[in-house]
């Protein structure tokens, strides 16, 4: 077919106006591909009608665009193709980030809790250490105090020796008439029965005066305070019923020593 006749037939106008059957449209498209003149003519017709339509333009009432965009969102037609995929990937990424952040926070929280627990434990340990430190200091001070007392020139050490009930029995009384203070240091005494207790006596001009009962020394407390009795000439230890006795049981005297 002659192209000029084809163009002049008016079929291209009908094509642009959308008046052709699909078959006729396919034919026009085929010719447009084969013949640049047809393509050019189509373009010119389209452009003319487009410009005519634009000149006739009448702005739609306000709010139509936002209604369209809202419907696009509502019908979820926006996340459809590549950009949609991108959006979804972004969504997943955001989700992952969020999950990661939450996991991180949980981990931090856990670590924080652990650390808090550890800090509490350490605080307790520190308190304990301080306590034992205190008690050690107290013990040290007490020992120092005892040592001071023992070293004082006015303190006399009176060693009491075994009387025969127990061969290796020995104990020492530290006696200071100036400061009116007295201590007993047990070297060696047999362990008493549950209902028995050792009692220290001061032998004075008016007889035996009790200086109190005492236990066998605990570790770290080698010296024990005992009641001071003025004018003691000698000291003796008897084994008495628990709680002590008003008078010494002479048959149970384990050690004895005279003031020099």
Which residues contact another protein by CB under 8 A? 8-10, 13-14, 16-19, 29, 32-33, 36, 39-40, 42-61, 64-65, 67-69, 71-72, 75, 77-78, 80-84
Q: How far apart are CA 88 and CA 249, in angstroms?
A: 102
Q: How far is the CB of 96 from another protein (least distance, A)?
A: 24
* Cβ distance to another protein smaller for residue 13 or 170: 13
* Cβ distance to another protein smaller for residue 78 or 107: 78
Q: How far is the CB of 28 from another protein (least distance, A)?
A: 9
* Cβ distance to another protein smaller for residue 47 or 111: 47
Q: How far is the CB of 99 from another protein (least distance, A)?
A: 28
Q: How far is the CB of 72 from another protein (least distance, A)?
A: 6
* Cβ distance to another protein smaller for residue 47 or 250: 47
């Amino acid at each position: 077919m002659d192209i000029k006749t084809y163009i002049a037939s008016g079929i291209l106008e009908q094509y642009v106006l959308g008046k052709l059957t699909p078959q006729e449209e396919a034919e026009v498209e085929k010719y447009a591909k084969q013949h640049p003149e047809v393509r050019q003519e189509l373009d010119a017709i389209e452009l003319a009608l487009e410009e005519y339509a634009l000149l006739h333009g009448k702005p739609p009432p306000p709010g139509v665009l936002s209604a369209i965009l809202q419907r696009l969102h509502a019908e979820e037609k926006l996340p459809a193709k590549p950009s949609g995929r991108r959006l979804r990937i972004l969504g997943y990424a955001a989700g992952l980030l969020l999950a990661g952040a939450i996991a991180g926070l949980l981990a931090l929280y856990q670590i924080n809790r652990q650390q808090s627990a550890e800090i509490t434990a350490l605080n307790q340990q520190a308190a304990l250490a301080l306590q034992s430190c205190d008690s050690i200091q107290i013990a040290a001070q007490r020992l120092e105090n005892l040592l001071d007392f023992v070293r004082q020139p006015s303190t006399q050490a009176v060693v009491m020796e075994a009387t025969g009930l127990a061969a290796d029995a020995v104990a020492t009384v530290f006696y200071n008439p100036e400061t009116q203070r007295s201590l007993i240091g047990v070297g060696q005494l047999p362990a008493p029965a549950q209902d028995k207790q050792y009692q220290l006596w001061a032998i004075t001009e008016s007889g035996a005066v009790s200086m109190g009962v005492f236990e066998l020394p605990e570790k770290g407390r080698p010296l024990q305070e005992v009641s001071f009795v003025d004018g003691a000439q000698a000291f003796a230890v008897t084994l008495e019923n628990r709680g002590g006795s008003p008078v010494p049981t002479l048959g149970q005297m384990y050690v004895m020593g005279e003031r020099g």
